[in-house]
Structure 1
């Protein structure tokens, strides 16, 4: 976020005829933070905070933040070191000279298929070890023909998704750009673009995410009566990305329109589409319901989140499903906003049990639990253990 944030905030606030104290009261943002931003003592703040201020001032979030504002890459302890070898493999592809036995297309395909459960299961420790070697071998077979290139496209897409998940944003950008450049299949390219939109969202680049997802959704829109599940999934996910960007940019009408179209794709699907060989394509009525609840949390409606959550059948989803667990973080936040801290802790404990390597990479979880422990005079041993697992300093 640029140093002009405070100046723009002050200008808009004055145009609205509001005092700093009024803005603080109506937005829920502390008066001291607003003062520091306007006085230039703070040049940065979280995207969620900027969204609250913009909503209160009745302007798009992007009118306060720069178009290329990045969320700070606040990662789990040791995360940068864990993924350094993967980053090097992306920026400095190897060649066959001096490598000994060259990998085969069949061998690399089998290795990629064997690695898929590691991606879908959030087994980051194992992936950090095997990915550099797998990326190297995929580079070596990419020049052997279409089949070898398709393997590299798929691996780069998965790697970009993984690095976005673990907040290694620059490396994720490299991987996703490579996947899109080499893609020859339109639906696979659309899936890569969907992940690019997610990356833009995580970096706070809302306008870019909204424009990219909307453009691609328009380009691949299928005839619903004849569409395959893969086509409906690709189109639906782009619409969900568009909705997520719009709701964060205080454009509720656009967000609801995109969500409605995504729901039409889900209704046409009839059920959750979850291909065994491509978990990123999982899509259907449950997925749309999860994203509707997420939008409700973004606009500070915890009661609606809990109401919607009670109707969503998440029991059949993988315990490591990122969509499921991201939704459960919204549920934990809704309980926290309702000051039901016992339920908040219970939900977070459940996520920890199901996705222990995923949870420490979620800054959202740290924010939720950080507010819980700030309101507690004493912490139980279980809460201290949870704080360590999430990465909250005590």
Structure 2
């Protein structure tokens, strides 16, 4: 964010007639942090914090933020995933080609076998199998037209995975290639949904919002005749639009998008994953999960807990990253209401369900950091969780 955040914050605060102390009181952000930002002693802040300041100042978050809010993966993650990134950049260079060329049937079977690794957030196993799979799909796509959709599908999944692990440049490259190779608008919409999520994780709210609006407009179906594929594609674009809008202090627009997504979910009738694709699973529960997420963004932990209590446990698959992301909101809501025991229990449950996913979540680190800061002593479980998410204590 460089000096832009501090300068814009000071300028808008003065135009609103607020002192630093007044802004702190109204936003809930410490006056010390506000002072450091304006004086350039701190050059960045969490997107959540910037949103609270922007909401108090009645401006879009994007007017304060101009650069990514997430700095991306650390050196250890980059080193571990280097073979995968190399396979994306140069598929033929990762290993010697097999004696026999890959076949569409064989590659399709290998991709099907890898799907539980993606949906289960089994990162270590994915690091091992992806380089060869990327190579084989690249070779097949050049030899056989049947290989092209397999290559696009793998690029979509790889872009999603790299976004999960905050390798943003590589994710953008993979998703761009998948979009360029999409056979139709619906296949492209699936990729664009992940692109919007990538932009959100980088704090590029305006770009995410504009991309979601454009594609939602172009893919809007007739609800009475829409197929599950069409409902899922349109519904997810609306959810991405809502997520970008609520973070940019456009609450009315966020609610309108959620309302339309709910209409698509009602038309779908149930949770459904077109072609068994976990990334496109959509329905009433998915919309409620995202409504809960929006409530947490708007600092309404009471609404988060109320909505969470109504979500059927059977409606969320144990390996769904949407479910685990929702449970982070629940843990955050418990923390905000000083219910630290349930917050720790929720984080522990996430770790049990997704042990390789949780360490990659800065959100989890921030939640646990607030718990630790407010506790005089830590339990063994809390200490174990700090090790899991890499929180220094």
Q: State the TM-score, normalizing by the size of structure 1.
A: 0.97
Describe how 1:1-394 pairs up with structure 2 within 5 A: 1-66=1-66, 69-75=67-73, 78-94=76-92, 99=97, 100-275=99-274, 277-394=276-393
The CA deviation at 1:128 is 0.5
Please give the alpha-carbon distance, in whole angstroms, between the structure 2 residues aligned to 1:96 and 1:53.
47
Please give the alpha-carbon distance, in whole angstroms, between the structure 2 residues aligned to 1:201 and 1:277.
26
Question: How far does the alpha carbon of each residue in 1:16-73 deviate from its partner, in whole angstroms, 9 at most, with x for none?
Answer: 000001111111111111111111122211111111110010100011111xx11233
Could you say what secondary structure the match of 2:378 adopts?
Answer: coil
The CA deviation at 1:390 is 1.8
In structure 1, list runs of 5 or more residues that go unmatched.
none
The CA deviation at 1:228 is 0.6
The CA deviation at 1:165 is 0.9
From the superposition, tell whether residues 382 and 241 of structure 1 become closer, same or farther in structure 2 (CA, over 3 Å): same
The CA deviation at 1:382 is 1.6
Query: In 1, are the aligned partners of 2:87 and 2:94 still within 8 Å (CA)?
Result: no
Please give the alpha-carbon distance, in whole angstroms, between the structure 2 residues aligned to 1:97 and 1:49.
45
Query: In 1, are the aligned partners of 2:199 and 2:205 still within 8 Å (CA)?
Result: yes
Question: How far does the alpha carbon of each residue in 1:337-374 deviate from its partner, in whole angstroms, 9 at most, with x for none?
Answer: 00010110011111111111111111100000111011
Please give the alpha-carbon distance, in whole angstroms, between the structure 1 residues aligned to 2:73 and 2:364.
12
Please give the alpha-carbon distance, in whole angstroms, between the structure 2 residues aligned to 1:319 and 1:358.
13
From the superposition, tell whether residues 313 and 154 of structure 1 become closer, same or farther in structure 2 (CA, over 3 Å): same
Query: In 1, are the aligned partners of 2:70 and 2:203 still within 8 Å (CA)?
Result: no
Please give the alpha-carbon distance, in whole angstroms, between the structure 2 residues aligned to 1:375 and 1:97.
51
In structure 2, list runs of 5 or more residues that go unmatched.
none
Please give the alpha-carbon distance, in whole angstroms, between the structure 2 residues aligned to 1:97 and 1:44.
41
Please give the alpha-carbon distance, in whole angstroms, between the structure 1 residues aligned to 2:16 and 2:148.
55
CA RMSD of aligned residues (A): 1.5
Please give the alpha-carbon distance, in whole angstroms, between the structure 2 residues aligned to 1:49 and 1:153.
37
The CA deviation at 1:185 is 2.7
Query: In 1, are the aligned partners of 2:2 and 2:43 still within 8 Å (CA)?
Result: yes
The CA deviation at 1:243 is 0.2
From the superposition, tell whether residues 97 and 249 of structure 1 become closer, same or farther in structure 2 (CA, over 3 Å): closer
Question: How far does the alpha carbon of each residue in 1:190-211 deviate from its partner, in whole angstroms, 9 at most, with x for none?
Answer: 0000000000000000000000
The CA deviation at 1:388 is 0.9
Please give the alpha-carbon distance, in whole angstroms, between the structure 2 residues aligned to 1:115 and 1:351.
22
Question: How far does the alpha carbon of each residue in 1:314-357 deviate from its partner, in whole angstroms, 9 at most, with x for none?
Answer: 33322111111111111111110000101100111111111111
The CA deviation at 1:101 is 2.7
Q: State the TM-score, normalizing by the size of structure 2.
A: 0.97
Please give the alpha-carbon distance, in whole angstroms, between the structure 2 residues aligned to 1:348 and 1:155.
31
Question: How far does the alpha carbon of each residue in 1:63-86 deviate from its partner, in whole angstroms, 9 at most, with x for none?
Answer: 1111xx112335478322221111
Question: How far does the alpha carbon of each residue in 1:94-127 deviate from its partner, in whole angstroms, 9 at most, with x for none?
Answer: 1799634322222111111110010001000000
From the superposition, tell whether residues 155 and 55 of structure 1 become closer, same or farther in structure 2 (CA, over 3 Å): same
Query: In 2, are the aligned partners of 1:10 and 1:38 still within 8 Å (CA)?
Result: yes
Query: In 2, are the aligned partners of 1:331 and 1:347 still within 8 Å (CA)?
Result: yes
From the superposition, tell whether residues 358 and 97 of structure 1 become closer, same or farther in structure 2 (CA, over 3 Å): closer
- The range that moved more, 150-159 or 39-48, is 39-48
The CA deviation at 1:276 is 5.9
